[in-house]
Amino acid sequence: MRFTKMHGAGNDYVYVDCFAENLDDRNIAELAQSISHRHFGVGADGLILIRPSEIADARMQMLNADGSESEMCGNGIRCVAKYVFDHGIAKQEQLKIESGGSVRDLSLTIGADGKVEAVTVDMGEPILEAPLVPTSLVDHGHVVGHEVEFDGQKLSVTCVSMGNPHCVIFVPQATDELVLGLGPKIETDPRFPKRINVEFVEIISRSEVRQRTWERGSGETWACGTGASAVCVAGVLTGNTDRKILNHLLGGDLVLQWNETSGRVNMTGGAVEVFSGEWNA
Ligand SMILES: N[C@H](CCC[C@H](N)C(=O)O)C(=O)O
């Protein structure tokens, strides 16, 4: 099976082109676990399958390193767009990619080498109704700057779904203790029935933040695009930041904007192809 390793802001996945490869006989949850393993496999935050779609240029199917499937991946969808364009699956600079039942519009920036350098994605409207995020922290309404105790620590949390669930926490310092210590406990807290991705965010100014992420199913990653979009929304709702922010993640920067008129979030960032290989297992 041929595969391609790509990353967006250091959030790295193994990509398989299912226009060319037939994965029908494979258990893809097991494949995601073994191929993602940093010692026994290729090493990645997860596995992304680039599949044909009836309603878009391609369909993204995204699996975390533990084999669980997610509805959406912001850094992944930029890489899928780069793959689709650079490998000639679709040759236009405006693409439509399906993920988790929704179709996203993407706009490509082409570099001097004729390949995709950066991608802007319409990430859609955030979902804030607690039961839809989902979270049982409240019965109905939104969870914005809500004081919640995790493992004896009181934190102010905002819950946002960008197709997948996020818990955003603004902190003075995104320490290892919070990200690696509390992150996994929040991920699996029963008040988040589908588990949750957790973002710890330092505010630098009204237009600039620094984010560390503990991802559902993958642990700490170097960036999270849906998470960065959720942070943009949470920053506005809590009054911490403006509608447009520059977000510094461990592996690179993303620019996010929550449009006041449309209510939709736009995300811009890079996409990089690292290498291709053949998986023999
Ligand atoms: N890194 C991804 C999100 C993966 C989310 C996944 N961990 C989940 O279970 O929802 C991103 O760039 O948006």
The pLDDT of residue 281: 80
The pLDDT of residue 34: 98
Residues 79 and 135 occupy one common structural domain: no
Q: What is the CATH number of the domain that holds 35?
A: 3.10.310.10
Residues 134 and 256 occupy one common structural domain: yes
Q: Pairing state of beta strands 146-150 and 153-161?
A: antiparallel
Would residue 73 show up in a list of annotated catalytic residues for this protein?
yes
* Model pLDDT for residues 210-231, shown as the tens digit of each residue: 999 999 999 999 999 999 999 9
Residues 115 and 134 occupy one common structural domain: no
Q: What's the 225 CA to ligand 1 centre distance in angstroms? A: 7
Complex confidence, ipTM: 0.98
Kindly state the DSSP code that residue 132 receives in the 8-state scheme: G
Residues 136 and 245 occupy one common structural domain: yes
Cα–Cα distance, 167 to 195 (Å, whole number): 10
Q: Does the Cβ of 64 fall within 6 Å of ligand 1? A: yes
* Model pLDDT for residues 162-197, shown as the tens digit of each residue: 999 999 999 999 999 999 999 999 999 999 999 999
Residue 173 in domain: yes
Residue 251 in domain: yes
Q: Does the Cβ of 197 fall within 6 Å of ligand 1? A: yes
The pLDDT of residue 245: 98
Place of tokens 């405006």: 94
Question: How many independent structural domains does the chain possess?
Answer: 2
pLDDT < 70 stretches in the chain:
none
Say if residues 107 and 123 touch (Cβ distance below 8 Å): no
Question: Is 240 known as a binding-site position?
Answer: no
Cα–Cα distance, 130 to 144 (Å, whole number): 10
The pLDDT of residue 76: 98
Residues 6+ apart with CB under 8 A from 197: 164, 165, 166, 167, 187, 213, 214, 215, 216, 224, 226, 227, 230
Q: Smallest Cα–Cα separation from 128: which of 265, 244, 246, 257?
A: 265
Domain containing 25: what range?
Answer: 2-121+269-276
Predicted TM-score (pTM) of this structure: 0.98
Residues 171 and 74 occupy one common structural domain: no
Q: What's the 112 CA to ligand 1 centre distance in angstroms? A: 30
